[in-house]
Amino acid sequence: MLIEHVPVPDPGGHGKPHDRFRMTAWCLPPGSAAQRAREMLRNQLAKLPLASDVLDELEIVVSELVTNATRYAPGPYELRLLHDRNLPVRAEVVDAGAGTTLIEHLLHRPLPIPERLDDLELGGRGLRIVTELTHGRCGTQWTRLCGTGQLGTGVWFDLPTRP
């Protein structure tokens, strides 16, 4: 596990950073990255008052993102949780690829919502599932991997704040 504190400016305008936000990152082994990410997410979120079906959906989301990363982008791969006041509020899957623009397009392209998930087109189907299960609270950003400092793509999704 890698831990990095993310200082943010003091809201009082003094420019002094404080440790309100904290990021925890785990390296994901290429051969079992999706399984490891699901385990880590479940272990971290099991402490929260989330309904089991919500936790199951979040596992699907992280599994889809990690599977896409390992299939289409070079490693290394990381799972990150951003904490605010010690509560996880955002999850992110990071790889060393350069697919930020394409992934953002696939996450937020206008498509009619199908009656069944099987009706989705094959290209980007996993990302469409991510969009649906996160209610659109997802996106991409350029970021640096904690373990190597390489520039890469982070695909994030916000975690529910209530059960």
- Render pLDDT for 99-154 as a digit per residue (tens, 0 to 9): 888 888 888 877 555 555 554 444 567 888 999 999 999 999 999 999 899 999 99
- pLDDT tens per residue, range 3-29: 444 444 445 555 555 557 789 999 999
Question: Model-level pTM greater than 0.85?
Answer: no
Most distant pair of Cα atoms in the chain: their distance: 53
3-state secondary structure 26-54: EEECHHHHHHHHHHHHHHHHCCCCCCHHH
Domains and CATH numbers, the chain: 22-110+122-158 (3.30.565.10)
CA–CA gap between residue 9 and residue 119 (Å, rounded):
46
CA–CA gap between residue 65 and residue 94 (Å, rounded):
9
Q: How far apart are the first and last CA of the chain?
A: 27
